[in-house]
Structure 1
């Protein structure tokens, strides 16, 4: 799927990735089947375009919640992390931060449960806490989750990155605070920002590739940012963006049914 800007915006600014071959992957949200299918297509693309280059895979966060197979998604990421042959970067999303907060302070976890955490608990076989049973039931759910979660999953969650810069591009989960240097961005903005970033005219210090916000099953292409969250848990479409010097192309799984 070749990318072109909507007619209402300025031409897309195509940058350099320092001669590399980069694949940025949008929000997975527990959609394990789509992840496996998309990775298969990415690997086929690498085989055809690698030309001796070591590919770089950058996941833009939100691996868990909402979809039914968060535990399996984290298993797949742990597996990828052990593979040679490519460079892997895993960014932190707001949903991963919410899970880490729940592990630290389960009594304050009701918000996480309301926006997808129940599905993550279920993927590990943990019953959600009942608010009418008080804080002790939140602690019970946290303790059961820690008992059932492989240590590798927790280690992966604890070392997620916040931002990756490569050539003319920067990769984050939600976006950046306009007007603030990339090396001075606040973590909350990188994980949570929406309208202040999405509505900003730009340009930014670099072209920003991000997830977190979506409208439909198509990437959101602007002159200074590229949104690659395509709502996999609702649309069934998971998106990767291939970047090379002066070019980009979307690779999707699930698109046949949704985008025909």
Structure 2
């Protein structure tokens, strides 16, 4: 499946880059739990699309998202049929423009493009906050202030001068209903033939029907070392890599856009996977 033109070495995660992301593992936050209601899982036939594109973790990098889409539209303009774009989750937090990213994802795509916005652990946690405002203290320690700031909420001021109720009211008033609807309707997995797209990965050797949303959003090991241990290819984000990684039944494309400025786009066409430069 992977093209010989693509990077095949993980080149380990750079220590300085990985340090930025260590707090994203969720090991010290109750937000590791996911919403009680299981999310939808989508299934398509490989013949449905002449090309498939996947975009790594966006994390509030709106301008990078627009650049990535321009790359895709330009690339697919030379093709016929229908393309599938799979967003791999984590649209909010870290970067400065989460609101703009979510608003953009609510917009329709061109007629020959089908888009799937998978749910990431940060998106699921944000929705949990909207549904359970009392989670704000733990959510804030996990996510920081960038997302709420992008919605016009002065978190620093409210933490210093406001009450708990004032913070909860500000969040409720600032987030549009259609943003909450998008977050609630995001699927946790999409399969196209024998290719699986998820945010974080899967539990090795476990049938897809038995995978838990919690693992699809949060897993690192043993998936990163062992791969899926199933006859399929998993395309995922969540764990940052210095360069897109191709190996052991998986392709990792979270290149830490908010920290590095690099939002990776993967194209799969004729069962060949390449990174669009």
TM-score, normalization by structure 2: 0.79
The answer (yes or no) to whether the contact 1:214–1:229 under 8 Å persists in 2 is yes
1:65 aligns with 2:93: yes
Change beyond 3 A, Cα 1:201–1:116? closer
How far 1:92 sits from its partner (Å)? 0.4
Change beyond 3 A, Cα 1:7–1:122? closer
Aligned-residue Cα RMSD (Å) equals: 2.3
1:246 aligns with 2:271: yes
Change beyond 3 A, Cα 1:82–1:250? closer
The answer for the alignment partner of 1:44 in structure 2 is: 74
The answer for the alignment partner of 1:193 in structure 2 is: 219
How far 1:133 sits from its partner (Å)? 7.4
Q: Deviations over 1:109-130 (max 9, x none)?
A: 3232223341000000112276
The answer for the alignment partner of 2:187 in structure 1 is: 161
Partners of 2:127 and 2:227 in 1: how far apart?
33
Change beyond 3 A, Cα 1:215–1:201? closer
Candidates 91, 101, 104, aligned match of 2:118: 91
Q: Deviations over 1:80-110 (max 9, x none)?
A: x354321111100000111111112222232
Structure 2 runs not aligned, ≥5 long: 12-44
Q: How does 1:80-119 map to 2 (within 5 A)?
A: 81=108, 83-119=110-146
1:109 is paired with a residue whose SS is helix
Change beyond 3 A, Cα 1:243–1:128? same
TM-score, normalization by structure 1: 0.84
How far 1:7 sits from its partner (Å)? 9.2
Partners of 1:220 and 1:133 in 2: how far apart?
46
1:125 aligns with 2:159: no
Partners of 1:116 and 1:91 in 2: how far apart?
19
How far 1:75 sits from its partner (Å)? 1.3
Q: How does 1:170-181 map to 2 (within 5 A)?
A: 170-181=196-207
Q: Deviations over 1:210-251 (max 9, x none)?
A: 0100132x1121130001111000000001110012211112
Change beyond 3 A, Cα 1:47–1:203? same
The answer (yes or no) to whether the contact 1:26–1:239 under 8 Å persists in 2 is yes
Candidates 53, 59, 80, aligned match of 1:23: 53
1:195 is paired with a residue whose SS is coil
Partners of 1:150 and 1:131 in 2: how far apart?
22
Partners of 1:45 and 1:35 in 2: how far apart?
15
Q: Deviations over 1:130-153 (max 9, x none)?
A: 66879x52x433322232222221
Structure 1 runs not aligned, ≥5 long: 9-15, 253-260
May I ask how many residue pairs the two structures share in their alignment?
239
Q: How does 1:211-226 map to 2 (within 5 A)?
A: 211-216=237-242, 218-226=243-251
